[in-house]
Amino acid sequence: MKFEIKEAAEKLASNPKWANSLFGKRFIEEFKKEAILTSTPDAGTDAGASSTILEQVVEGLRGYQSLDWFNSQTSTTGNTLYFNVIKSGSAAALASTTFASLPAASEYLPCALDQEVGVKTNWTRSFLEDASYDVLAEQTRQAGQGINMFIQKQAMNLIQAIPVASLAKGILVAPITIALIKDLIKGSDVAGYGTSDYVLCSPAAYWDILSLEQISSALYLGPESLKTGVAPTTWGVTFVKCSALPTGSGAVAMHLVAVNSKNSVGLGWRRQLTVEPYELPATNDYGFVASIRARPIILRSGSISIGTGSIS
Write out pLDDT tens, residues 101-150.
Answer: 666 677 889 999 999 999 998 889 898 888 777 777 888 888 889 999 99
Q: pLDDT by residue (tens digit) across 297-307?
A: 999 999 999 99
Task: Indicate whether 257 pLDDT > 80.
Answer: yes
Average pLDDT for 31-48: 50
The string of DSSP codes covering 267-279 is EEEEEEEEEEEEE
Residues in the chain: 312
Average pLDDT of the chain? 80
Task: Give pLDDT, residue 101.
Answer: 66
Q: Which residue has the higher pLDDT, 277 or 159?
A: 159
Other Cβ atoms closer than 10 A to 211: 10
Q: Which region holds residue 41: left if phi is over 0, alpha if psi is between -120 and 50, else beta?
A: alpha
**Distance (Å, rounded) from C-alpha 231 to C-alpha 211?**
12
